[in-house]
Structure 1
Amino acid sequence: MKSTPFLVQTQHLKTACANCSVLELCLPIGLTEAEVDRLDTLIPQRLKVKKGTSLYRTADPLRSLYAVHTGFFKTCILSVDGREQVTGFQMAGEMLGLDAISADKHACHAIALEDSEVCPVHFSQLERLASQIPSLQHNLNKIMSREIVRDHSMLLQMGNMNADERLSAFVLNLSARMSRRGYSARSFVLRMRREEIGSYLGLRLETVCRSIAQLRKLGLVHISGRNVEILDLAQLKAFIAGCHRHGPE
């Protein structure tokens, strides 16, 4: 398989964590101004990642963790026959690169779904600083724990939900994450293709399309192209809750 060129452009500007719009979702949460300044020194510049470009690839050595400043990414693994399995979608305020901590090399690809910008944090320097700032170590632990919980939630979706329920849970997850960032919880744009959603949810493309039509028929969600409109947020939540009460069909 051909490797994709690593085409990341640099922006020679001070990071200024203290002025970041996603500060409350990222590593500096709860840090004092002086501690944020110390963390800021570990991020000499932001990196611009063009749409379709890899930030890192499977088996690349661990050098940095990456806080998504703007944009959207997918993480994926490739099977021996070259098929892609999407393992997650990351947006502003979330971390990339945690997959490499255990083995010191990345276990997946990270690819920008739109023109994006990340803050690279050199991992060995971050470890040293975290040993000196307990609140920073606490934040790092929370971020890693959140990844584990997200993986468990994904397994629950795969095991206990039918196709319509999986897609509903996916839409609700995006809705909640958008809301945390100050965007509309009911109307937003998908950055990923339907094939990528299907790969993530363990569904075929035609099944994803059928579920989109079914959720519209139920008056829950209208998806046109990449535009999502949640028609009844309360009922969409109830739809998922009913799944958990009654179990898989």
Structure 2
Amino acid sequence: MSGTPPVVLTVAGTDSGGAAGITADVATIGHLGAHAACVVSAVTAQDTTGVSAVHPVPPDIVAAQVEAVLGDLPVTAVKTGMLGSGEVVALIAERLGHLPLVVDPVLVATSGAVLGDEEVVGAYLEHLLPAAAVVTPNLDEARTLAGHDAPPEELAEELAGLGCAVVVTGGDEGGTDWVAVPGGSAVPLAHEHVDTANDHGTGCTFSSALAAALAHRPGGGRLPDADELTAAVRRAAAYTTHQLRAGSGWRLGRGRGPIPHIPPATETEEIA
């Protein structure tokens, strides 16, 4: 790589099993040609079978980490994952909402552990989604944020009414993501669905890849236009699909194994 890479900041929790959260974010951002800075918002004890403990980082320590990064590095894009508390959600919206902000609203772990309560959901709706450039919920998270059940395309359009673009990811529901921009109709973006149990960290990987793609936009700016967003979503989905396929034969852990965070093969490097 030649030249100085763009900086992507991830604000997320740790995963002691190395599959999701900060681990997935930093590896993905680096694979896709950007420099990863990080702010730890929660510390978890987890493995491939579940989450056994969560320690939210105090808001003042989260704020100090944010200030350390912003005071030294030219952050081009931001990705958020598990944020731990409603106070931290509001803090991130206030301090980082001026940047292209990709929000992965981590509310429930792959194992089913609840990682965001009603206070966190309310803070997302009031503070973070209106400040975000793109929000990437899976179908269950989109239903939780909307407060009701509906088809993914309707949920995408409804949440986009808060002022952010929305990508309701297909995941286990199939190989289609639904993308909506404020005031627009949801558009389906089909991609390959990989049948694998090694998918722990998929949402983190996708949203980080999306943030990296937005960081590489020639024009920059806080909000991508529809064409830029579509191109970035396709790149992120292609990268995530490749990684899922690469790890489909792995035998790691006793539960849902990790999506690989080993650099992609040479023939896929153009995804970045």
Q: What is the TM-score with the length of structure 1 in the denominator?
A: 0.27
User: Which structure's CA Rg is the greater one?
Assistant: 1
Structure number having the greater strand percentage: 1
User: Higher RCO, 1 or 2 (CA under 8 Å, sep at least 6)?
Assistant: 2
